[in-house]
Amino acid sequence: MSVDITNTGSVAGQEIVQLYVKNAPNEETRPEKELKEFAKVSLLPGETKTVTFTLDQRSFAYYHTELSGWYAPSGDYEIQIGASSRDIRQTLALELESTTKIPFLVSDISSCEDVYLFANDPSPLDAMLEKSGFAESTNKDGDDSMGEGTAEMMKAMFSGTPLHSILSFSTDELTWQDIQDTIQAINKKQER
């Protein structure tokens, strides 16, 4: 990326040209924008110079611990050129498409809803909910003991509940180890 800098004054001077990357708005863990490059330019009165910056994948990336490497998420970014972070003089919008997919890994604070939305196979959670007593909506004869659709209602009711909290509301049959085993079973299926 190149930008022309002109000294419009009557004396020689210097300018520090700064390039910022405004991050995609869906990245909550990152700052709004980050300084990526800068150049100090000396200019005579009326002189114009071209400053060139080179951006690469790392210019849009951050270190992602689950990947153990640098990750540049897909999204809309903005390249900003200015004299400071508060004095932006030129912008360029761009869309970045990442080829890396972050694996969804379950922990005891993951919600049931997240497991159903993002896990490759949420069936271990179904088995755990059944053991907890939440998913059991029918009695042994197959009659819906609590009314039609109870299993779906219970699933919806606990959608935002973290996995570790299910223990507090469950029968004595469910243990902390059951939750840990469920997490391991879901994560093992994520690796495929």
Q: Same domain for 79 and 119? A: no
Look at residues 96, 130, 156 and tell me which one is the last residue of a structural domain.
96
- The answer on pLDDT for 138 being more than 80 is no
pLDDT winner (highest mean) among 10-19, 92-101, 120-129, 156-165: 10-19
- The answer on pLDDT for 161 being more than 70 is yes
Q: Same domain for 79 and 27? A: yes
Using CA atoms, how far residue 23 sits from 124, 163, 166, in Å, is 36, 32, 36
Q: What is the mean pLDDT of the chain?
A: 84
Determine, yes or no, domain membership for 104: no
Q: Same domain for 90 and 14? A: yes
Using CA atoms, how far residue 31 sits from 17, 25, 82, 151, 179, in Å, is 20, 10, 18, 42, 35
Q: Residue 62 in 3-state DSSP? A: strand
Determine, yes or no, domain membership for 126: yes
CB 119 within 8 A of CB 106: yes
Determine, yes or no, domain membership for 105: no
* pLDDT band at residue 140 under the 50/70/90 scheme: very low
Q: Same domain for 13 and 91? A: yes
Predicted pLDDT of residue 21: 95
Q: How many CB atoms lie within 10 A of CB 93?
A: 9
Q: Same domain for 92 and 137? A: no
End-to-end CA distance of the chain: 40
The burial class, CB within 10 Å (0-12 / 13-18 / 19+), for 161 is middle
Q: Can you list the alpha helix ranges (DSSP code H) found in the chain?
A: 112-118, 123-132, 150-157, 166-169, 176-190
Determine, yes or no, domain membership for 68: yes
pLDDT one-digit tens code per residue, 64-90: 877 788 888 888 999 999 999 999 999
CB 21 within 8 A of CB 59: yes
Q: Same domain for 74 and 143? A: no
What is the Cα–Cα distance from 70 to 72, expressed in whole angstroms? 7
Determine, yes or no, domain membership for 101: no
Closest CA to 97 of 72, 116, 79, 118: 72
Domain count for the chain: 2
**On the CB side of 10, how many CA atoms lie within 13 Å of its CA?**
0
The mean pLDDT value for 98-121 works out to 85
Predicted pLDDT of residue 85: 94
Determine, yes or no, domain membership for 160: yes
pLDDT one-digit tens code per residue, 40-62: 999 999 999 999 999 998 999 88
Boundaries of domain holding 30: 2-96
Residue 36: CATH number of its domain: 2.60.40.10
